[in-house]
Chain A
Amino acid sequence: MGKMKKFFQYDNIGYLFVLPAFAYMLFFVGYPIVSNIILSFQDVTLKTLKADTKAFVGFQNYIELFQQDHVLMTSLWNTLFFTVACLLFQFVIGFALAVFFNKNFKIAKPIRGLLMMPWMIPITVTALIFKFMFGTDVGIINYFLQGLGLISNNIDWLTNPKTAMIAVVIANIWIGIPFNMILISTGLTTIPKELYESASIDGANKFHLFTKITLPLLKPTIESVLILGFIYTFKVYDLIYVMTSGGPVNSTQVLSTYSYKLSFELFKYSKGAAVANILFVILFIISLIYLKYVYSEEEA
């Protein structure tokens, strides 16, 4: 009995340590999530923001968004396109770089380290850099493309609805490459070298080594890189907001920038909240898939 009591006391102390952080997150994250859901079922605008009672409108905001608001569908589609395009390129390039820098040459490690820089820089700064480089007349990208003979006239990258998305995707790929590279590099170091040696002795060529050993053994790493990449990319905000603010003509409007626009430029707080919740639900489902996957890995 005494032993049991002592054990109980012991583990109860854990609550004391966790409580401050937990209470903080409950207050500044948990409560806002709930109030964002409530907000999306109300009709709060600049006029009603300070009112004591706010009208409850049920699913009206969501219904209006899906039925009457073509910008929502555009944003949804743009977010998906942006995410898939970025993931595809940053993953392939990151993978190739990881394999390359895994070779045992002199400056491999320091150079790979320096290539992490783009991931660390505040995204506002990255957005500024690419806005400058994609400038129509001042931009170095048009200058290079002209020099290579690929274009004859300067492209107005960020002010043309047809090319703005390409520009923001390229900027985001630049941010994402280091993340993919470093995680895959870490994954590569866990593959035992003996596997390659014995397979080489058995006459396997480089292509076989890659498809039969590297890829299957990296599967867990690849999956978590892609799912995490999806989550991080899908909630893109700063980069697009600074580079194009969702324009021109909504061609780069994504869910997060549209939500911001509704709430803080048009002051339709409830509509903005509803869009944020749509984004949240999608990410939540993806996160659950990821977490289920992580937990099953840990148990295995």
Chain B
Amino acid sequence: MDEDKKISRKQNIGYCIVALLLFAVLLFPLYWIFVTSLKTEQEIFQIPPTFWPHILNDASYKAQLQSGDFNMFRSFANSLIIAISSMLIAIVLAVPASYGIAKYNFKGKKAIILGFLVTQMLPVSVLLTPLFIMFKNMHLYNTFWSTILADATIGIPFSVLILKNYFASIPRELEEAAYIDGCNRFTAFIRVLIPIAKQGVIVCGIFSFLYAWGDLAYGMTFIIDQEKRPITAGIFNFMGQYGTKWSYLTAFAVVTIIPVALIFIFMQKYIISGMTSGAVKG
């Protein structure tokens, strides 16, 4: 609204103070679990609570690398395998599909777009039971594959819908120039169009990864062995068993946030573009 309007120095300081206050209040929960993860169990239950750790305790982090119930390192690796694989499936399938939708006018195209739109709005509960039965029959139950395949169903429609806008915005002339240079439709797609739509591909990769990284329902339902489960299911399991071990629980939470935070710090512009284009254009 006031984007270009000059504001006085005094106003600037006032706004900055309010902004910092809002920041502190809204992100307090994140600060709070971080400091809690560095406290001793005794200090966590202390009243009044301490707002930073008086005794620095890194045992909750170290325990994650050791074997036993508190080992989350393995779950973390499981989550990485699941999220990266499901991201790759989503990208490999969604990139050509979105290109096909953006550049060719075939029959039934509108219906296909509509199908992708509707699957994006699907509640997980609808797929849970039938996929559970299906994976049992396919002998994929209790393997990484079950969760990888299921997680990709979230990434694919999102990626197709985002990427089709990227491909649609590439001028036809670029493609034609590639044909003159001796490319056919497939090599032109791979050598010329995908590199141009790289930004969009990154956005889709990030979101497909994040969807799979954050999934609990599929990982918890389709994988039963604790050693194969993703970290979200590991945390849930741990909460059930050691519900008041908050030093460990908050440390798990912090570790789970790390990849998200890294993506967030280095790729913020992609996230905002993904959120806005994905949501508004559906």
Contacts and interface: CB of A to CB of B under 8 A. Distances in A.
A25 B221 contact: no
Contact of A275 (B47, B106, B125): B125
B144 interface: no
B279 A32 contact: no
A32 B121 contact: no
Contacts of A275: 125
Interface residues of A, number: 104
B61 interface: no
B225 interface: no
Given A25-B119, A124-B214, A143 B97 contact: no
A35 B105 contact: no
A53 to B, nearest CB: 15
B27 A114 contact: yes
Contact of A14 (B105, B257, B280): B105
Contacts of B100: 13-18
B202 interface: no
Given A241-B217, A294-B281, 7 more contacts: A16-B100, A33-B126, A105-B19, A128-B249, A129-B32, A228-B282, A279-B126
B124 A14 contact: no
Nearest to B110: A295
A283 B271 CA distance: 26
A31 B282 CA distance: 23
A120 B7 contact: no
Nearest to A108: B19
Nearest to B93: A21
Contact of B257 (A15, A125, A256): A125
Chain A interface secondary structure, helix, strand, loop or mixed? helix
Interface stretch (B52-60, B64-72, B150-158): B150-158
A117 B121 contact: no
Contacts of A124: 214, 216, 232, 235-236, 256
A28 interface: yes
Nearest to A298: B281
Interface string B109-141: 100101111110111111111111110000000
Contacts of A283: 121-123
A239 B7 CA distance: 41
Interface string B230-259: 001001100100001010011011001100
A118 B26 contact: yes
A102 B1 CA distance: 6
Contacts of B77: none
B268 interface: yes
Given A111-B23, A235-B123, A256-B125, A189 B272 contact: no
13 contacts: A10-B104, A18-B100, A29-B119, A33-B122, A103-B7, A125-B232, A133-B32, A174-B29, A193-B5, A196-B2, A224-B282, A263-B129, A279-B125
A242 interface: yes
A198 interface: no
B272 A113 contact: yes
Interface of B: 1-7, 11-12, 15-16, 18-20, 22-23, 26-27, 29-30, 32-33, 36, 44-45, 47-49, 89, 92-94, 96-97, 99-101, 103-106, 109, 112, 114-119, 121-134, 149-150, 152-153, 156-157, 160, 185, 189, 210, 213-214, 216-217, 221, 232, 235-236, 239, 244, 246, 249-250, 252-253, 256-257, 260-261, 263-264, 268, 271-272, 275-276, 279-282
Closest 10 interchain pairs by CB?
A14-B104, A17-B100, A21-B97, A122-B214, A235-B123, A32-B130, A105-B15, A21-B93, A276-B125, A124-B232
B198 to A, nearest CB: 18
A179 B32 CA distance: 22
Given A14-B103, A138-B44, A183-B280, A103 B125 contact: no
A271 to B, nearest CB: 10
Given A124-B232, A183-B279, A188-B1, A29 B153 contact: yes
Interface string A239-258: 00110000000000001100
Given A17-B100, A18-B100, A132 B49 contact: no
A97 B252 CA distance: 31
Interface stretch (A58-66, A81-89, A161-169, A284-292): A284-292
